[in-house]
Structure 1
Amino acid sequence: MGAPLTFPPLMWGEDAGEDAMGHAARRAALGCDAGLVSYVLGASQIEAALVFAPEVPLRKAMAMLPLCGVGFQNALGALAPPEVAVHLEWAGGIRINGASCGRFHVLSASDTPDDVPDWLTVGFTLPLLPSSDSPGDTPDETALYAEGCAEVDPPLLIEAWARHTLNWITRWEQDGPAPLHAEWRGLLHGVGEIATWDGETGTFLGADEDFGMLLRDADTTRLIPLTELLRRQP
Structure 2
Amino acid sequence: MGTLNMLGLAKRVGARFLITSTSEVYGDPLQHPQVETYWGNVNPIGVRSCYDEGKRTAETLAMDYHRGLNVEVRIARIFNTYGPRMCIDDGRVVSNFVAQALRKQPLTVYGDGKQTRSFQYVSDLVEGLMRLMEGNHVGPFNLGNPGEFTMLELAKVVQETIDPNAKIEFKPNTEDDPHKRKPDISKAKQLLGWEPTVSLRQGLPRMVDDFRRRIFGDDKLDSGL
Q: TM-score normalized by structure 2?
A: 0.28
Structure having the larger proportion of residues in helix: 2
